[in-house]
Amino acid sequence: MGFLSSRRKRSRLAPELDDQDLGKLLKSLLATTKSGIIATTDLCLAQISRLLGQQPGDWDRRAHRMGVLADYLAETQLAKSWAVREPRSADALTLHAWTQVARARRHNSPEDAAEAVDLCLRAAALAPDDPTPWVVLLEAGRVQRLQRSQVFGAWNEVLARDRWNREAYLGMLGYLGPQEAGSRVQVLDFVDSLGHRMPANVPCAAVELTAQVLQYHSLVERGGVEALVARNHWSHTAATQALDRVAHTWAQPGFLRHAKALADLNLLAYALVAADRRRQAAAVFDLLGGVVTPWPWATEGDALAGFEQAQRRALAAL
């Protein structure tokens, strides 16, 4: 793929990333709900159930699909309707719980996630091997500020079923940060604890780089002189090493194979441009093919505008 190919492809927000089946479902759900035909709910739920029934042991792919659907359906009653109709379906219960958590985050209303804990526990009992109900329980614990033991309990249950679960690691990274229940020191300890135990291309490979980007954002958000010199963050040893560890390998086509690989590549492109390593960033933009994720691009404004500006800067360095 030549570098010019990324210029030809229109940048776009695509929550499904490269999951074509999920993308087709999202378009179908939109078309079905707009059609006004009888039994719309039945049609939508049948499509959702069919997709989530695929690849039953691929926890990474299932979590990606369910998380995207939860965000998409958060302002609708579809997930709740499914859970009411099929109270013995772990997928239905988990999706309903996740939509509640997504809505609670969107509106900053923890009370919206009040039922999520019970739904997750019921789903976990129905599907004891599935880490996803525990992933959602961890997120519900963060939103509702549950006791630390409850959050860590959910975290341990996830890892017992899926050692390198992306959502769980990033969830704990947020929970241990200064904006929630921890501190910068706890974040560093958490990242350091992974050490060399974590393989380079597992679904949660972006934990360390995510921590560095979050620290960079905290400097920008302070404003004043600290914001003006925030770019110096990327010259510090820890930040430089975090980028060095992944810049070459992630940019190799096919190195990252998990469901949210394109999200991690968005993160890498953002960090490389912020660190003024634009030639390296250009190769990453080429792999993205115009697929944009809201985070981290929307942190300082419109996501698409931020992505396109950074891409132009990177390509100009070639």
Query: How far is it, in rounded angstroms, from Cα 190 to Cα 197?
Result: 13
pLDDT at 230 (0 to 100): 86
Give the global pTM.
Answer: 0.93
Say yes or no to pLDDT of 113 above 70: yes
Query: Domain check: are 250 and 315 in the same one?
Result: yes
Neighbours of 75 (CB within 10 A): 12
Domain ranges, residue 46: 38-194
Helix axes 207-222, 184-194, angle to 10 degrees: 160
Query: How far is it, in rounded angstroms, from Cα 288 to Cα 245?
Result: 20
Say yes or no to pLDDT of 256 above 50: yes
Q: What's the rounded mean pLDDT across residues 93-102?
A: 98
- How does pLDDT run across 218-238, given as a tens digit for each residue? 999 888 887 778 889 999 999
Q: Name the domain boundary from 194, 213, 241.
A: 194
Query: Domain check: are 215 and 283 in the same one?
Result: yes
Q: How far apart, in Å, are the Cα atoms of 113 and each of 105, 106, 138, 251, 259?
A: 9, 11, 12, 38, 26
* Three-class DSSP category at 74: coil
The answer to whether the CB of 272 falls within 8 A of the CB of 247 is yes
pLDDT at 222 (0 to 100): 86
When comparing pLDDT for 147 and 1, which is higher?
A: 147
Query: Domain check: are 188 and 276 in the same one?
Result: no
Contacts (Cβ under 8 Å, ≥6 apart) of 42: none
Residue 199 falls inside a structural domain: no
Q: What's the rounded mean pLDDT across residues 153-170?
A: 98
